[in-house]
Chain A
Amino acid sequence: MLIVSIALFILVNLAPGGPLSGRGQSRRMRPEQVAILKRQFGLDQPLYLRYIFWLIGNDWTKIDTDGDGIKESYGQGKGILRGDFGNSYRTRQPVLDTIQNAFKNTAYLMTVTLLVVAMIAIPVGVISAVKQYSIFDIAVTTLSFIGQAIPEFWLGLILILVFYVWLKNPVTGDSLLPPGGMYTLGASFSLIDWTKHLILPVTMGVVGWVTWYSRFLRSSMLDVIHQDYVRTARAKGLSLNKVYYKHALRNALLPLVTIFALDLPYIFAGSLYVEILFSWPGMGRLYYQAAIDRDYPMLMAILTIGTLAVIFANLLADIVYAKLDPRIHYD
């Protein structure tokens, strides 16, 4: 983790462009402004010191806060090892507060998306395998290739065009579905309202994943149902449903569980396209904005937590795999 953090810090800080250049209306940032910001952001320090301050804070050493060349007061940063990821260059607020808000929204969207993916992909993959080369299988295979080929952003635009622009609620005359957001502002909580706001972003997120997972499961299931123990089970007179769904599916799901666990970090990272198109205030947009602004503290916080999430997901995948497959032991 230490090595990763050093690598990330170097990459983020040395990438072309920086927080001291103008953008938007402020493309002409004046040198006087640059000098002030440099000091306020701590960018007047050499890179190695910036990393040390990011890691363990700077409240143990004096720094020059007013640009007179004299180090007159102690810094205020505590460093990430003490839970202080610093303040955003953009908002000047603690980055963890902002991440916390965005994470809740992303976790909500991605959890629902992954659940829907599982609910669709598993039965579709199993049926495709069990009824290999049937019309259903051929249709699913065709749709899967189409689903994988469709650009996500384009799909989102089409969904908005169809369900927000073209289709209207026959009773109220309003658009059938909202173009984004999490719920209707000013309205009291309603499960229907929340669900309506989920349909389009979840659909956009689900398509690619469903096609990938269902194809994977189909392939895995086909491997399993041609194995000897399945044939034995059938020969012993067990019903097909019991053979496929009790014995075969459990084993076919094993590799999928691993992949699913490895995809769990998306619950933290979110999906940039979905969040941009459907105005979802989540982690994807937060990261994108931070990258554009070269908001180093925000970028480092997201990347560091994201790295931890990936490590955790890998660990989880290993643990779950060992639990599900008794042949695997970690000594």
Chain B
Amino acid sequence: MNNKSRWFIISAILIVIGLLSVGCAKETAAPTSDQPVTTTEEAVPTEEIAPVDATEKSQIVIVIAEDPPSFNATVGQTGFDSLVMELVMLSMADLDEAGNAFPELAAELPTVENGDVVIDEENGTMDVTWKLRQDIQWADGVPVTAEDVVFTYNAVVDPEYGYWINGIDYVDGVEKIDDYTAVVHYNTIYPGYLTQFGGYVMAIWPAHYCKAEQGFTQWDCGLQPLSNGPYILKEWIQNDHLTFERNPTYFEAGKPTIDQIIVKIIPDEAVRKQMLINGDADVDMWTVEPVIAELENYKDVVEVSLSPVDRWVMRIFFNLAAKGTTDAEATPHPVLSDVRVRRAIRMAIDVETIGKEFFLGYADPVWTEFFRPPFNVCDIPKPVYDLEAAKALLEEAGWIDQDGDGVRECRGCTTGAEEGYPMEMEFITYSEYGEALDLTQEFIAEKLGEMGIKLNISRVEGTVLWDTSTNGGIEQSGNFDIDIWDDGYSGNDPTDFLWGYYYSTAAVPDAGLNYGRYINPQVDELIDASYTLDEGLRQESFCQMAEILEQDLPELLLFTTVDANAHSTRLQGVQSNANEIVTWNVADWTLK
């Protein structure tokens, strides 16, 4: 045998050994219904799904970009964890596509009307009684009880391994009344109580299964959940796929109808799209605008579900304090502290064109925080795009391009800036959103540049933009002029959201999200007043707030961004829900 042949044979043997060594790796044990979860160790990743005999087992494939960190979406909040959590875990109440709460573990929603919410007007406190359904059980046959609710609360507030959830500071304790009744004692009136232990980031965990000593943020049951939802986790191969099978003991009779769900991790967007078109995937989570537009050409195989209500609003954040400072009164921003400048900037942004050209028509103009039902009744006029009026307003504000260099300077401006101070600022966004936002940023900078406002654009990672002040986070430390990014709130209660962005206390670095350092005692009072269950009073407060915000313009709300999920035409019942994650109603999905 010559050397050439010998090398060839050695190489061939090595390849075969390599293949066999991976192929013969230890397989994960197939769990029984008594063992509903599987270990992720020693697992071998897979990709393509072998065809399944439709008469035997129905199967769908969901493709997502990242491996979920765990099933405890409260901790990770990546959205990917919510997607899988919704498959296996139930919460007290969830949100439908209109943003209305509906009961899951609860027999009915507690309200003042049905007597389950009792308000102590004198002390400003309230008690909420949750009555649980008595026909829901964990996958091991143990009933879901009030014990689990108390256990979950205690785990969340554990000082060592707990976490913080919205409004948890308002809870004094959760008390078990009987096996199927628990009372949440609030030290204030908290309008967000319905989804505090629900929604897409919070679930109720099994007291008999999760190990309290491991802690809420890192317990094993977050990786190997015991199901009480429509599906049971059968296999999780990290960074590759998760396999779920129908929970035979799910409480809704006849549901779910699909036997198996495979969630596959496909990092590349183009590949996810193509798998959907080729019929190798059934749901593509969070479909972006260009892909939605492209999928219009494949209507015979793919549909795109759009959320009927919008949540995410692209908005411009003005720093009202001088760049690098955090006190808008002591050190006002030399340009942006004049509301006329902010208003002129709004007049110069062509929202319609941006929505049409860069967001491909999947963006709706928005100009007030109160654009969603039930609080979308405030009479705030839609702003007008008017470049000439914007220029006039800038001149009225004392910003004139006297030296003819194309950039306006302070010529009698009232912001405290020196005479001749140029109207030049940094304009930041985050890089992860993608091309649509990049183009929007460039477009706005170009248009404002044409009227003498020079914006130097820059893009940073979200983790740099939103980091803590102590770690040099751009927004928390006030190290910006103008930012653009999207945010919004889930559900129908904006109270916590408004507090976070507009309350004066939230303007302190690392104490809130009032990055613009907007201080208005009237707004504080109105936010305080909105912590009530009196819907009429809330409506009144919100409309007053809407008027003040319209007058002060601490932020510019521009347009909503789409919440969409593409799915195969054979899969029915998929309903995108901006308040939730696409699997929120997975039990209702059917195959044609």
Taking beta carbons and an 8 Å cutoff, which residues of A are in contact with B? 16-34, 36, 40, 65-68, 87, 90-93, 97-98, 100-102, 104-105, 108, 111-112, 115, 118-119, 157, 160, 164-165, 175, 178-187, 189, 191, 194-195, 197, 245-246, 276-277, 279-281, 285-286, 289, 292-294
Contacts and interface: CB of A to CB of B under 8 A. Distances in A.
A182 B22 contact: yes
B377 interface: no
Interface string B405-448: 00000000000000000000000000010000000000000000
A208 B500 CA distance: 51
A245 B463 contact: no
A183 B46 contact: yes
B11 A118 contact: yes
Size class of the B contact interface (CB-based, 8 Å) = 35 or more
A97 B41 contact: yes
A25 B77 contact: yes
B50 A22 contact: no
16 contacts: A22-B462, A23-B432, A25-B78, A29-B466, A36-B162, A97-B41, A100-B41, A101-B40, A112-B18, A115-B15, A157-B270, A178-B48, A182-B47, A184-B47, A185-B48, A285-B239
B82 interface: yes
Contact of B164 (A32, A111, A279): A32
B10 to A, nearest CB: 10
A180 B217 contact: no
B472 A182 contact: no
Contacts of A285: 239, 267
B159 interface: yes
B271 A279 contact: yes
B511 A23 contact: no
Contact of B466 (A27, A40, A175, A184): A27
A189 B268 CA distance: 26
B468 interface: yes
A289 B267 CA distance: 11
Nearest to A91: B69
A21 B464 contact: yes
Contacts of B42: 101
B161 A98 contact: no
Contacts of B161: 40
A182 B432 contact: no
A104 B40 CA distance: 14
Given A21-B473, A185-B50, A186-B49, A286 B510 contact: no
B463 A294 contact: yes
B278 interface: yes
A301 B75 CA distance: 23
B470 to A, nearest CB: 9
A15 B124 CA distance: 46
Interface stretch (B89-97, B258-266, B356-364): B258-266
Given A25-B77, A30-B164, A185-B50, A165 B274 contact: yes
Contacts of A98: 238
B23 A31 contact: no
A101 B238 CA distance: 8
B510 A36 contact: no
B240 interface: yes
B4 interface: yes
A18 B78 CA distance: 16
Contacts of A26: 76-78
Nearest to A288: B267
Nearest to A16: B464
A330 to B, nearest CB: 28
B18 A184 contact: no
Interface string B42-55: 11111111101000
Nearest to A160: B271
Contacts of A23: 78, 432, 461-463, 466
Contacts of A181: 45-48, 240
Given A21-B468, A24-B79, A25-B78, A31 B511 contact: yes
B435 to A, nearest CB: 16
A66 B159 CA distance: 5
Contact of A20 (B264, B461, B467): B467
B23 A292 contact: no
Nearest to A28: B513
A179 B274 contact: yes
Given A184-B47, A279-B271, A31 B512 contact: yes
A276 B264 CA distance: 13
A85 to B, nearest CB: 16
A32 B22 CA distance: 45
B490 to A, nearest CB: 9
B510 A180 contact: no
A34 B510 contact: yes
Contact of B218 (A30, A87, A191, A280): A87
Given A197-B47, A281-B265, A289-B67, 12 more contacts: A17-B463, A27-B487, A30-B164, A32-B169, A36-B162, A87-B218, A92-B218, A179-B274, A182-B46, A185-B49, A194-B22, A279-B47
Interface in B451-493: 460-468, 471-473, 485, 487
A198 B318 CA distance: 51
Interface in B206-226: 217-218, 222-223
A273 B41 CA distance: 25
Contacts of A68: 159
Contacts of B40: 101
Contacts of A29: 466
B486 to A, nearest CB: 9
